[in-house]
Chain A
Amino acid sequence: MVKMLTADGKLVEVSKEMLDQVKKNQRASNKEIYNWMNNPSKKNNS
């Protein structure tokens, strides 16, 4: 299991196999992370 964060700061766990399936090996840019954190719909993201 890999521990990851949701945009609203919750700690969640995802299985490594699942993560490997969805990973694109593209590191997010500063702007993408900024947008992800400030996504207005983040309350519905968990």
Chain B
Amino acid sequence: MKKEEEISNKARRDFLKTTAIATIAATACGSLACSCSSKKANVGEKVKLLSPDGEIVEIDSSYLNHQEHMAIVSKLEAREGIAGKKFVMVVDLSRCKNARKCVAACQKWHYRTEDKEWLTVKLMKDSEEGAPYWFPKQCFHCDNPPCVKVCPVDATFKRQDGLVLIDNERCIGCKFCMAACPYSTRVFNWSEPELPFDIKHQQYSPETGIPGKVGTVEKCDFCPDRSREGLLPPCVEACPNGVFYFGDENEDTVSNGDETVSFSQLIKDRAAYRFQEELGTKPRVYYLPPKDRQFPVERGYENLPDNLKERFKDVMEESNLLEKK
């Protein structure tokens, strides 16, 4: 009995503490209200909520604004993944002009600074005679992931829906996974992330990777929190040219926001390939070859800031697309 009372008191303390933080956040960041999603649940469904002054109130769910990025699943559910799904991405290289909207959208959604790119756009050139092309690259969520095998603390894991995620609360920052990943898609978080107050104090979830933890490894997570809500990842939505298709292999459907197509038909018709497939990692990202490109490669170079131009300068010069100085 006494034990039950202790548990009850502890639970109450924990919840009141969290509510107090939420209340402070609400007072300090009143303007944040507009950043919340306007998604409404069904009218008539009553939800019990804990008010900041310790009262349990019942409110119609249609009057609630859900805070984005709040953990919506337990740690166990986050590790198991979404049953019946097998997420897959297709990248149409013929449409990419390095607009970098995908990179910006990813950084904004995950509260990452400009120097941390979970999704990068490379300038690839397959042979000396061949023309270069833009190549967006993020974690490939391999079906045979070397990163998962080498993690000594089980911080990075493969889920039933195909995603490879990282639990930053377990990660010890040993970087074994970074060394094991043949695609160099993981980044190390060297500094304390600068986050808004309410994001910094929200409950961590491996599905969102928020709030980020200093001294741990991060990478693209295919935004499973959005998938649970039936939304496409921000990179897919942000791309003005429909480069990225995202969907479910089990349903055999992928969408780039504008069009929804059959996954199997798309990769068959366009002769899709997987990056460095010979490594046996079985990536879950397919590329459609840059045939009949919609934009000249220079288009993605001209308007870049100088620091980014420097990245691609060598390949551009080699391809005689820039004058050598």
Contacts and interface: CB of A to CB of B under 8 A. Distances in A.
Contact of A11 (B33, B58, B59, B202): B202
A27 B19 contact: no
Interface in A1-46: 1-15, 18-19, 22-28, 30-34, 36-37, 39, 44-46
B25 A14 contact: no
Contact of B59 (A1, A5, A14): A14
B53 to A, nearest CB: 7
A24 B22 contact: no
Interface residues of B, number: 43
Contacts, number: 119
Contacts of B41: 46
Chain A contact residues: helix, strand, loop or mixed = mixed
Contact of A2 (B18, B23, B67, B71): B23
A36 B58 CA distance: 11
A19 B50 contact: no
Interface of A: 1-15, 18-19, 22-28, 30-34, 36-37, 39, 44-46
18 contacts: A6-B47, A10-B71, A10-B72, A12-B49, A12-B67, A13-B65, A14-B59, A19-B57, A22-B57, A24-B55, A27-B55, A28-B50, A28-B54, A33-B11, A36-B56, A37-B15, A46-B47, A46-B66
